[in-house]
Every structure is written in structure tokens, then in C-alpha cells.
């Protein structure tokens, strides 16, 4: 079995929760994941996501049902902020990040900065 990149399983679980129209129990999440996993693995990931504040849970009988507490864009912002805050040379990080963006995204950043000046 090949090792998946860090955060992939959490993202897969979050994607299942984002697509759901109601809170899901771990067995339901497991059934909707693109890779087969043990119930305990899914339950562990959901518990960790709950500890991180990324999902909420409600008691349903002897188990919990989970739903996303943040949307996908909020998760991306959270991850970017964590990486950015840990950098010693923030200017270099910004230059590298912006330098790697496609032109349409750079235009969107410029527009957002223009709105911030108003």
C-alpha cells in the first residue's frame, strides 16, 4: 500500500461532509470515501477534525454524527495562514506564492487589494 500525502485523508473526509445535506455517522462517511478504510480509521479522523474545530458532532444513540464546521475555502485559508505564519521570511513566501499564480489569479489579487484601499 502506498502512503498518501499528509492531509489527504482529512480532505477526503471533509469533502464527503461538504457534499452531505445532513450530519453523517462514521460508517456513512466510510461508505462514501473514494478509498476503503476501516471504521476505526474514519472515526479517528473525525475525532481529530472535531478536536481541530473543523467539524461539529451531535450524539445519535451511542455514536456521533458529524458535519463540516468550515467550508473548503475556509480550510484553504487556515492552511495557508498556518504555513505563512511559520515562515521566517514572509516577503519571500509572498513573492514566491504570487509569482506562481496564473495571470487571472494575479488580476483577482489586484482587484481585492484595490477594494481594500477603498
Q: What is the reported pLDDT for 8?
A: 86
CA-based nearest residue to 70, from 8, 18, 24, 12: 18
- Give the pLDDT of residue 3: 65
List per-block mean pLDDT (blocks of 10 residues) for the chain, which spans 118 residues.
72 96 97 94 96 96 95 91 93 93 93 81
Q: In angstroms, rounded to a whole number, what is the distance separating the alpha carbons of residues 19 and 29? A: 11
pTM for this model (two decimals): 0.77
Amino acid at each position: 500500500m502506498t502512503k498518501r500525502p499528509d492531509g489527504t485523508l482529512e480532505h477526503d473526509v471533509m469533502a464527503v461532509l461538504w457534499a452531505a445535506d445532513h450530519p453523517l455517522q462514521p460508517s456513512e462517511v466510510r461508505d462514501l470515501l473514494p478509498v476503503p478504510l476501516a471504521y476505526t480509521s474514519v472515526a479517528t479522523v473525525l475525532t481529530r477534525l472535531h478536536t481541530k474545530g473543523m467539524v461539529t458532532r451531535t450524539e445519535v444513540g451511542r455514536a456521533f454524527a458529524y458535519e463540516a464546521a468550515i467550508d473548503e475555502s475556509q480550510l484553504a485559508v487556515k492552511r495557508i495562514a498556518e504555513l505563512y505564519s511559520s515562515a521566517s521570511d514572509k516577503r519571500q513566501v509572498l513573492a514566491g506564492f504570487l509569482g506562481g499564480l496564473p495571470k487571472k489569479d494575479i488580476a483577482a489579487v489586484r482587484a481585492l487589494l484595490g477594494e481594500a484601499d477603498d
